[in-house]
Copies of this chain bind each other. A is one copy, B any other.
Amino acid sequence: MHGMLDRTDFAIKRGPAIGALDPWVPSAGRMRQLLSERERVRLARIAPVVRFRKRETIYWEGDPAEAVFNIVGGAAKVCRTASDGAEHISAFLFPGDLFGLAQEGRYVGTIRALTPVTAFRFAVPALRRILADDATLEFHLIVKLMHELRQSQHHAVVLATNRAVAKVAMFLHMLERLQPASGEAANQIFLPMTRSDIAEYVGITLSATSRAFRSLTEGGILALRGRRHVTIADRVAFAKLAGVDRERAPAARTAVTSRDTRR
């Protein structure tokens, strides 16, 4: 706890930070800090630090989009309300992420804090002014957006899966890769979100999520310490479910004659 506060405070002093996998530079799957010291200092000058309590709504879908935020501490979720009123979660946000996606002047999703959140707040006009005369910074933003686009496409792959257990496994795998080496022991995953949130993210019901967790623990693949700490007990079986067992080799370049089967 104390350690975490220190880390966040330290992060605030260093200024805004954007993490991403570079589209062109290989980095063995490790996220990189895109901003240079100079850029961070410059951005810090126009961006006040804002804090939100756990469960607080940072902004609502449809609100006038006046600012972009950069998380430096905590976690949040992006919710989109479907036409029938059902909520769907389109992303989870962690330190190094940006939020504030807009369309025609209005925010595209509702943002809710899962834990206490600390963020830098960039007023859109000020940000645009800075971007307009710093091509490098602009380029970094492009890299980050490409990263988010890939993430979102991966999310779609998870949603397209049809077995609930596989969906949950893929979700946990994603979370593990995303989780900055945040003081978690190896094979440990911390879940800042509820089971309901997970359900809404992977596109199944709360019941199904619960059953999937049970099935995973009973199968000896996971172990739970409390409800928010997951340990991966059987890496091999886990990787198989999460679909990480593929070779990185050029893959079969044969156009698969698409039958009716999905598994």
Contact = CB atoms under 8 A, between A and B. Distances in A.
Nearest to A60: B253
Contacts of A91: 153
A250 B134 CA distance: 36
Nearest to A80: B157
Interface stretch (A34-42, A97-105, A180-188, A224-232): A97-105
Interface string A63-84: 1010000000000000011111
B149 A149 contact: yes
A263 interface: yes
A263 B86 contact: yes
Nearest to A204: B262
Interface string A135-162: 1101101100110111011011101111
Contacts of A26: 104-105
Contact of A156 (B108, B150, B156): B156
A252 interface: yes
Mostly helix, strand, loop or mixed at chain A's interface? loop
Contact of A90 (B85, B156, B196, B243): B156
A248 B105 CA distance: 13
Query: Chain B CB within 10 Å — which of A103, A160, A258, A262 has the most?
Result: A160
Contact of A159 (B138, B203, B246): B203
Complex copy number for this chain = 2
Given A60-B250, A83-B245, A108-B153, A88 B131 contact: no
Interface in A154-184: 155-157, 159-162
Interface stretch (A16-24, A115-123, A213-221): A16-24
A25 interface: yes
Question: Which 5 pairs, one residue from A and one from B, show the smallest C-beta to C-beta distance?
Answer: A83-B243, A159-B159, A160-B203, A145-B145, A152-B152
Given A142-B145, A149-B149, A155-B156, 15 more contacts: A21-B104, A23-B102, A24-B104, A24-B105, A25-B104, A25-B105, A80-B153, A83-B244, A85-B256, A90-B156, A101-B146, A135-B135, A138-B139, A156-B156, A160-B200
